[in-house]
Amino acid sequence: MARPFSSKDAKLIIEKHCLMISRLTNASSLDKKYKENIKNASDKLAVQEVLAVLRGIPVEKLNREKKGIKTKTLRDHRYCNMADLHTASVYQIASIKGISEDSAYTIKRMVNGFVEQARKEAKIKLSADNRNLSATELVKAIAVYRGSLKGVDACKELLFYHKERVEDTIETLKPATNDFKWFFTSKVIKNKAIEAYNTLVSMTEDVYFLRANHELLELDKNEQMQGNVAWEDFQKNSVQFFTILEEINPGLLGTDDAIYGLPEDLAREIQDECLFPDGLLCSLRRYQEWGVKYILHQEKVLLGDEMGLGKTIQAIATMVSLKNTGATHFVVVCPASVVTNWCREIAKHSLLRATKVHGAGRSMALRSWIQTGGVAVTTYETTSYFKVDEDFRFSLLVVDEAHYIKNPEARRTVNTVDLSQHADRLLFMTGTALENKVDEMIGLIQLLQPNIANQVKHIAFMSSAPQFREKIAPVYYRRKREDVLTELPELIESKEWCSLSKEEEELYERSILEKRYADARRVSWNVDDLKNSSKAKRLLEIVEQAEAEDRKVIVFSFFLDTIRKINLFLGNRCMNPINGSVTPQRRQEIIDEFDKAPAGAVLTAQIQSGGTGLNIQSASVVVICEPQFKPSIENQAISRAYRMGQSRNVLVYRLLCEDTIDEKITAMLEDKQAIFDAFADKSVAARESLELDEKTFGNIINEEIERINAKYNKSGKKPEWQENKVGNTSDEYHAQMKLSYAELVEYLLKKYGAAKEDYFINDSFSTKNKRVSRTKEGLYCQHIDEDKAIMLSNDQYARNNPFSYQKAERLVYCNILEHLLLHIKIAEEPRNADANENELPGIGGAINLICREVNDFYDGKIPTQEWKGNIMRLIEENFEDYIMMLEHLWEVIQKDSRYRSIIFKEDLAQGWYGNIVSKVYDRL
C-alpha cells in the first residue's frame, strides 16, 4: 500500500522527537549541574576568604612558640604573611639561602595549622556593596539555580507524561524508515506505522512541544543571566539565597553547628521530626526549619530567639505543618499593638485564614473562627472574653511576647492560662533574654512543663552553667544572630501595621474630611495622650526589645510636634531631639552623648535634619514614624545607622496605620519603586520620579474622603464630631465679616454654645476656672465686655473692672480667626459709651497678641504647646481668609487718626519675636 510520507520523513520526525527527549532529559538534570556550580563557586570564595585571613597574619607569628624560624630571612624574600607561605611549595621555601629542607617542612606544617584555624574563622559574607568577581560568580550561580527550579520541574513532568509514549510510538514507526523492509511489512503493521507517524507529527504541533520549547527556551535564557541581574535578585531575596547556600554547602555561612546548641540525644530526635511545609509561602532558613521541628517535637516550648531571627515565621510554619496533618484551629495571643501585624504576616506567608478576635466585633469573630477554623489572633486583654465550650480543643496556642504573663496573679496571665487548657500544644515566644531573669523564665516554664521547672528551681543560681542550660533545653530554646546568621543580613526592614483606636480613627477622619493634610499624615501621633496612640505603644515595645538586646534606637519623623510628643512619652530614655534649629556643633554633642548612653537610649530627629550628614552607628534600630513623600529621604535617614563601621545588623521599623493614607502612600511608592527597578534608567531624573507630588497626595486625600463618606452614608449616621464642627469655610468668614460686634457675638453663642462657668472662680480674681477652657477643641474664650475694657483675662486688669464681666453669661467661644474678627469689630465700631478712659479696646489684642501668633504659624513655626497646636490646626487652610481680615483691619487703621500715626503695615505682619513674616507682609 502507498505511504502518505517517505522513509526520509519518518526518520526526520523520529530524529525530532529523540532530540526533544534528549534536551528534556538534559534539562531535567540541570539542577544537579547548577548545584555543583554553587559548590565550586562557594568553595572558591571560601578559599579567598581564607587567604584574606592569612594575609592578615604576619610571618613573625611562626616564632610564637620560639622554634627559631628565620622569619626575617623569609620576609627578606617577600614571604611576609601566612598567605605567601601557604601558596609556596616546600621546595620554594627550602631554596631560600639559610633555610634547610627540614626547616621548610616545619614551616609548612606550622602554616597548615594557621590555615586550618583560618578555615574555621573565615566565613562567606555576601554583600551587594562588595561585588567582586568571585562573589558575583557565586551569586549568579545561585540565581541561575533559583531561576531554573520551575523549568526543571516542568521538564521532568513532560518526560514523565510523554517519554514512554513517544518511545513506543517511535518503535511502531521504525518499519517505515527502510523502503526495502516496508515492502515486506504486513498491512496491519503498515497501518500502525502510518498512525504512529501521524501521532508524532501532531505531537510536534500540540501543547507538548509548545510547552517543552517554551520551558527549554526560558532555561537557556536563565543560564545566560547577567551578573547585575543576579545581584538585583539577591538584594530582593537574600534569605532564599542564603538558604540555598546553606543546603548545598553547609558550614560556609558559619552555621556549622548542625544541632544549634541542643544536647545530642535531643538533637537526634529533633532531626527525625517531620515537617510538612505545603502551603507555606516563604522559604525557611535552616535554623528556622530546625526551630519548627523543635516546636513540633517538644509540643510545649518557649522560643527565645533574638529579635530579627523570625520567630513569627517559625510559628506560622508550625501551624502550616500541623494543618497538613489534620489540625484545624489555632490561637495567637499577642499585645494589641501587633494584632494587625500578625494577621498580615499569616496571610502573607501562608494559606491559613486569620481571624482578628479583638475590638467591637470580637464575639462574632470568635463564633466565626470556632465554626470555620484557621488562626484566631487576639490580645491579652481580650482573653477575658475568649470563651469556648469546656470540651472544645484547638491544636496550638501561640503566646507572643510571653513575658507579658510573667506575673502569675495578673488577670491576663490567669486568662491566658485558662485558654491554654484547651490547647494540645503551647508555643510561648519572647525576644527578651531570660537568662538574666531566671525567676521569670522558671515561671513561664512552670506553665509549659512543670516537671522541668521543679527540677531547675534549686539550681536557678547557676543559670549560666551548662548543667542548667541542658536541663531546660527540652523547653527553652534561644539562638543569637551570631550563632545562626554569621553572614549578617545587615538591613532587616519591617512594616509595623497598627490598628486605629476609636479616638484615633475619629481624629483621622476629621482631619481627612477637613483636608488638614499635615494632621492626616500625623495619624496616631495627634492624640492628646500618646498612651492612647497605637503607634506609640508599638514604639515603646520596640524600644524595650532593643534595650533587652543591648541596642539603641533612633526615631525619625517629619513633624516637630511628633518628635516633641515622643520625647515626653519616652521620658529619660531620650536624648535632646535633633531638628533644624539645632546648630551643627550641638548636633554632634547630642550624638556624642547618645554614643555614651546605655542600651535602650533613644535619639529623636526630624527626618529632614537628622536624616542627612550624621553618623550614628551606635544605633542599630531605626524607627520611621510615618511614610515620607520621597523614598530617598527615608534611605538617607536609614543610612545614618546603616553605614561603614556599623558592627550590628540594622533593624528598620516603619510604623504604619491600617486603613489610612499610610497604606495608600506606602503602596503607591512601592509601585513606583517597582516600575523604576524594572524599567527606569538609574539616573537622578528617574529617582526624582519616585517622589509623591502634591497632586498625587491630593488625589489620595480625595479617595479617602470618598471612602469615609461612603462609610457613613452606608450606615446613615454622621460622625459625632461633625455635629459640633468648629472649622470654618471661607464663605462663613465672609458672612461673619458683614456682622456687627453684637451680631457676631450672638452668632458665635449659637454656634459653640454658652459658657457654663465663670472665668475666675471668685471676685478675688486670683484663680482662673480651668473648666472654662475649650482649647482641646481649638477654641478661645473671649470676654464679651472687651469692647469696654482691655485684657479682662489678666487678673491685674480684671480687678479694675466689675466681676460681672467674668460671669458665664458674659463669655463667648471662638476660633482664633473669629477671635481676631471680634477685636477688629470692636476697633471698627464707635467707642462703647462704658469703655474705660485711656484704653483702646480691640486693636491692641488684635495686633500685639492674635496677629503675632497667627503670623508665626503661617510662617511654618509649629506650636510647641499642645493647646496652641489644637487652636492653630483649625486654621491651616484659611490663610487667604486671614489676609482678607488683615486687609480689612488695615482699612480700619487708616480711617482712624488714633491708630494711623502709631500702627504701620509691618506691625500687622510681625511675629512673636519681632520678625517680619514676608509671606504676610507681601500681601498687604
Q: Quote the mean pLDDT of the chain.
A: 86
Contact between 573 and 602 (Cβ < 8 Å): yes
Counting Cα atoms < 13 Å in the Cβ hemisphere of 507 gives: 23
pLDDT for residue 721 is more than 80: no
- pLDDT (tens digit per residue) in 463-517: 556 677 788 899 999 887 666 765 554 578 889 999 999 899 999 998 888 777 7
Range among 105-109, 222-226, 676-680 rated most confident: 222-226
Report the pLDDT averaged over residues 656-672: 88
**CA 261 – CA 290 distance, rounded (Å):** 11
Q: What band does 259 get if pLDDT is binned at 50, 70 and 90?
A: low
Cα atoms in the 13 Å half-sphere on the side-chain side of 896: 20
- Written as nine digits, the cell of 16 is 525530532
Residue 394, Cα to own-chain centre: how many angstroms?
Answer: 31
Residue among 599, 589, 534, 544 nearest 570 (CA) = 544
Task: Supply φ then ψ for residue 418, to 5 degrees.
Answer: -60, -45
Grid cell at residue 719:
460622625
Q: Contact 255/484 with Cβ under 8 angstroms?
A: yes
pLDDT band at 769 (very low <50, low <70, confident <90, very high): very high
Torsion of CA 481, 482, 488, 492, to 10 degrees: 20
Angstrom distance (rounded) from CA 318 to CA 293: 8
Counting Cα atoms < 13 Å in the Cβ hemisphere of 482 gives: 4
Task: Give the pLDDT confidence score for residue 260 in this predicted structure.
Answer: 64
> Rounded to the nearest 5 degrees, what angle is found at the Cα of 876, between the Cα atoms of 873 and 878?
130
pLDDT (0 to 100) of residue 445? 92
Domains and CATH numbers, the chain: 1-255 (no CATH), 257-484 (3.40.50.10810), 497-701 (3.40.50.300), 730-921 (no CATH)
Torsion angle of the four alpha carbons 887, 890, 896, 900, in this order, in degrees rounded to the nearest 10? -160
pLDDT (mean) for 350-361: 93
The contacts of residue 322 (CB under 8 Å, 6+ apart) are: 296, 330, 395, 396, 425
Dist CA 544 CA 308 (whole Å):
14
Residue 902 pLDDT more than 90? Answer: no
